[in-house]
Structure formats: C-alpha cells, structure tokens
Amino acid sequence: MESIIKERLLSNAEAIFGSQIEANLVQFQMTRKDVAGDLTLVLFPFVKILRTSPQEVGEKIGAFLKQEFAFIESVEVVNGFLNIIYNETFWIDRLTKIASDENFGASEPNSKPLKMVEYSSPNTNKPLHLGHLRNIFLGASVAEILKTNGHKVIKTQIINDRGIHICKSMLAWEKFSPVNEKGERETPANTGVKGDKLVGKYYVEFDKHFNTEANQIIQQWEAGEVSGYPSAILEEFRKFAAAREGKDEKAVKGLNDKIKDLAKNQTTLLREAKDMLVKWEARDPQVYLLWSTMNSWVYEGFDATYKSMGVDFDTLYYESDTFLLGKDIVIEGLQKGVFYRKDDGSVWIDLTEDGLDEKLVLRSDGTAVYMTQDIGTAVDRYKDFPDLDGIIYTVGNEQDYHFKVLFLILQKMGYAWAENCMHLSYGMVDLPSGKMKSREGTVVDADDLMAEVVAAATEMTKERGHLDGMTDQEKENLYRQIGMGGLKYYLLKVDPKKRMMYNPEESIELNGNTGPFIQYAYARIQSLLAKSDGEELNFDASKITLNPEEKEIIKQLDLLPSIIDEAAKELSPALIANYTFELVKTYNSFYQSVYILNEPAVDAKRMRLTLSKNVAKVVKLTMRLLGVEVPSRM
C-alpha cells in the first residue's frame, strides 16, 4: 500500500501542497505498537511547504487520503505523524490474496540481475570448524534470499588449495607421519580417519615442531650461541631483548612475541616449507603428486561435511588455477605502472594516496600471495559469467581491509565491474570456552558440533515422546531436522555484522527465539490442518469480524515481500529469522486464545484455518531461506 499511497500523493501534490514535491519527502514507517494504526506517514517534511503546524498538515493529508481510498477507515495525527488505519475489509481481502498465491513473498524468478555469492572457501590444510559454519550458513542463506527476491544466482567457493599453509601440512606428513608394518604412512584408507581431519592433524603437528624449534633457537640466542645466524636478525634480537629491561609484564610479552617471530623465520622447518612452495609453483613432480594426493583426501572429507550441512555449490574455483591468472595480471599492472618492483624483486602497489598503505602482490621469490589469487579469481569469474552484476564475498570481518584493497586494485586495473563487488563481512563466533585457534588444534570441529547438536536434539525429543507410529528412519530424520535447524537458526538470527556467542544447549530449546520453537509451531499447524479433515477453507467475508490478534497476523503475513526485499538489500538472514519468530509468537498467542476446530461459526472457523495454513506456508518459505527444514510432526 505504501507505493500506491505515495504515488497518489505525488500525482496530487499541486492540489495538496500547492506545488510538485520530491518523492523522497514521502516517508513511511511502521506504526508504533502503543498507538492505533497500520501505516504511519512522517509529516515533518511537509510542514515547511505548507507553512503550518504538523497537526494541520496531518489533517489536510488525512482528509485527502480518506477521500481517495475507501479502505482507509480513519486517520489520526500524533506528534508530527499521521497514523493511517485500514478497515476490516481491507485485511480480509489481503488474507484472501495471500491464500490464493502459492508463491506469496517470492518475486518473478530470474527477473533481476545475476549475482554470485561466494562462501565457505576453506583451506585444504584443516577440517571445517564452527567459524566456517556461520560463514557457510550465512552465504547459502543469502544466496537463497537473493534467488527468492528474483535474482539469478551462482553459488560458489574458492578452494584455497595452495600456499605456505598447505605446504606446512604436506611437510609435516612427510616428516612426522608414522609408518605401519606394511611400510605405509598414515592415509584415510589405512586409518579410517576422515581425510580433512587427517591433513588437519599434520597442520597442528607442524606447528608443534615449529614452535619447539623456534624456542630452541631463542634459547641459543639467550645463551650467546649465535653462530650461523644473519647479523641483521641478531641485531633485531638484541634490540628487543634489551628493551625488556624494566618493562611491565604486558610489554615484555609483546617483545618476546617479536623475538619469537624472528626465531620462527630462522627455523629449518619454515625454510623447508618455503622451499616446498617454490617447488610446487615450479610443478616439481614429487611435490605436486603429494599435494594432489593430500588434497584429494581433504575434498572427500569436505564433501561429506557439506552433505551433512545441507549446502551445495553451482561452480568451484581453485586457487591453484586462479593464482596463475593473478600473476599474469600483476605483470600486466607492472607494465601499466599500477604496481612497482622493489630492489629485492617483490612487487607492490602504493595505495597511500587512497588512504590505505602499500600492499605486497608478489613475493621476492616470485610466489603469489592471497591478494594475487583473489585478483585472478575475480577476473576469471567475470570471464566465465559476462552478465554477472556483482560478486558477494562472504568472509569474516578480520578481512575487511583485504577486500578494500582488492576492490581498489581491480578498479585501478580498469575493471569497471569491481564497483559491484561486495564484502559480506560478519563477526566471529565465540563459545563459552573461549576463542578457537586452528594451529593449536583447539577449534570446534564442524562435524563434531553437528553430531553433538543432533545427539542433543535426539535426547530431548525422546524425552518429550510424541513419536508413536513413526518409523526409525522418520525418527532419525526428525532428530536431524531439529538439531541442524537449531544450529542454523541460532547462527543466522544474529545480525551478520555482530560478533556472537554460540550456545549449543540453548540452540535446540523449544522455547525462545530458536529454530525448534518455530519448527514446533509449524508442526502444530500441520496437526491442526490434518484434524480439520480437509474442510473447505472458503469463507464468507461479510460474516467475519477480525479480533486484534487475527488482524495482527494478517498484517505480519502481508509484510513478507518487503522483509525479503530488505533482507536481499541488506544481505541479512537475521531479518528473515526475526520476522519469522515474531510471526510465530503472534500466532501462538492467537492459537491459545481462540477456538479454531471447535469454533461453532463455520465462516470464522474456516477463516482461522485459512490463517493457520498461510502462517505455515510463510514459515516453510522463510525457514527454507535459512536452510532449515520444518517437520510435519514433532
């Protein structure tokens, strides 16, 4: 209605205001719950035009609207706002239209430009963890919201399958993997360990030995055993060591961390890992075979995890492919003067005039960095999909600066489409036990967490009962739906920009703003409709008098298209989640306060069943946008 009322005000501006007005002066907002009204018009922009009080402005506009629209029952001016109240016929008509539209809330498919949504994008040196879950569920949900909003959508990920971190796992497996009686090192096949977990084990193993060697070097330096180390490094060490004198505990720790960084760069382990990376980029046969073998283990593990999550991708990109294109673009940029080469051979870009800093794009040994491959990946994607309107990168907010630099580099290279690239930045996920560190092996494994929430949902559901007549397979599916629904909903209900605390126990509770709370409401409606024995839902509108809760439910249902539109613009599944929670809360209050199946008035009964059926329809849609299944029975 907002657009219709706005159009009528603009087209009659001469008669109302004495002159044409700008469209942005017509501002609507939701009516406050403590006053009567279905829509509120802000009056302050018109006070200056009419040169009178807000009360008189409101009365004049209100009189015009009542004359123009039969569905406006009354208007009320309150403190500079015009509250518009629709009549009962309007709301009953809205319910009828919602009920007649099976695709209510969704825009015409493929009616809007193509968007690419990148999410997950893991490293192949460790399994997926809790942080990945928020990333993956967020990206997958945004893709579904955009698609429902009418966009063509490509779901993708860039698999970070190369780099020094990958070489660390490879080197550790070569050096530290035990050999069995057959002379075989550990593999997923001979250990039964999931491939991504096995490779992740050796990433942790590398770090343990890496730290041990670094500590040994520091002990040597502290003891004066400095033979064989570069004089510049030793000078830095002595400077930091001397600076510790008289400093407090926090300052000493900071200086010791700097000393440890110096020592780490002198370890044989890091040197061997760097040598392995150079060999990999030169396609050394032995290194390349090891890399492809270990990555294949990881891909198989990832695929199993994605299946458990219920997410997928339309196309995949691999850093091992796109970094080559990125290096070519960097060389091209050197020739254009976009980049410059330092004396050590490394290539940089100077962004200080843009308020940023200097950024490395190629190391002195010619190997690529993350920025190199991200440049290549972006260009590759636009080559693959020429009609692409924009790329949405779902990446944590610790990479905010990285993406500012990436988009600016692409623009300086002359790629106009870079202006349509967006970083969907999200906050980290904490647990009551604290932060996670993958190198130290203290992450919360995604597979383990999903198994735990499903196990907790299983126990909770068995305790409640209500499973009579269900097969074992149906029960197992229900446990999975509740557990995974609780996990996804909990991670998505918080504004993506905010850091959040994930509470596994709370996520599967049947009360509060949780997935199971909403799932239970849907199952309750399915049970209600089943008991109605397929009764006709046609009703005589002239015999209906809506109570406040019924009217409120219809109002909330009617908001769905605008909620989806806003969620698509804001890239925020939290708007969908919290809309659904409010709808279900209102419906539950209605369900508890009126008769439905036992309502003696046939038309009132049918209207309430229609209302219930359409609440379920909307809940099923909104939960699907969050990647959450809704069971018909709980």
* Per-residue pLDDT tens digits for 583-623: 999 999 999 999 999 999 999 999 999 999 999 999 999 99
Q: Using alpha carbons only, give the angle 492, 571, 149 rounded to the nearest 5 degrees.
A: 105
pLDDT of residue 438: 40
What's the mean per-residue pLDDT of the chain?
A: 94
pLDDT of residue 442: 54
pLDDT of residue 440: 46
Which residue intervals of 69-178 are DSSP H helices? Answer: 88-100, 130-148, 164-176
Domain at 159-229+266-430, CATH from 3.90.1170.50, 3.30.70.20, 2.70.98.10, 3.40.50.620 = 3.40.50.620
* Residue 439 reports pLDDT greater than 50: no
Please report which confidence band the pLDDT of residue 319 belongs to, taking 50, 70 and 90 as the band edges: very high
State the Cα–Cα distance between residues 305 and 445, nearest whole angstrom: 10
Q: Collect all residues with Cβ–Cβ distance below 8 Å to 352 and sequence separation of at least 6.
A: 358
Task: Encode pLDDT of 491-502 as tens digits.
Answer: 999 999 999 999
Instruction: Read off the pTM.
Output: 0.89
Q: Are strands 28-29 and 72-78 parallel, antiparallel or unpaired?
A: unpaired
* Residue 336 reports pLDDT greater than 60: yes
* Percentage with pLDDT > 90 across the chain: 89
Work out the average pLDDT over 234-238: 95
Please report which confidence band the pLDDT of residue 436 belongs to, taking 50, 70 and 90 as the band edges: very low
Which residue intervals of 465-514 are DSSP H helices? Answer: 472-492, 504-507
| DSSP reduced 3-state for 361 | strand
Task: Encode pLDDT of 256-281 as tens digits.
Answer: 999 999 999 999 999 999 999 999 98
State the Cα–Cα distance between residues 550 and 591, nearest whole angstrom: 10
Place of tokens 């890091």: 270
Where in the chain is CATH 1.10.730.10?
453-625
Where in the chain is CATH 3.30.1360.70?
2-86
DSSP designation for 417: G
State the Cα–Cα distance between residues 609 and 596, nearest whole angstrom: 7
* Residue 242 reports pLDDT greater than 80: yes
Q: Using alpha carbons only, give the angle 10, 15, 18 rounded to the nearest 5 degrees.
A: 90
Please report which confidence band the pLDDT of residue 529 belongs to, taking 50, 70 and 90 as the band edges: very high
* Residue 535 reports pLDDT greater than 80: no
Q: Which CATH architecture has domain 2-86?
A: 2-Layer Sandwich (3.30)
Task: Encode pLDDT of 93-131 as tens digits.
Answer: 999 999 999 999 999 999 999 999 999 999 999 999 988
Where in the chain is CATH 3.40.50.620?
159-229+266-430
By C-alpha distance, which of 394, 384, 383 is closest to 421?
394
User: How many residues does the structure list for the chain?
Assistant: 634
Work out the average pLDDT over 30-45: 91
Topology of domain 453-625 in CATH is: Isoleucyl-tRNA Synthetase; Domain 1 (1.10.730)
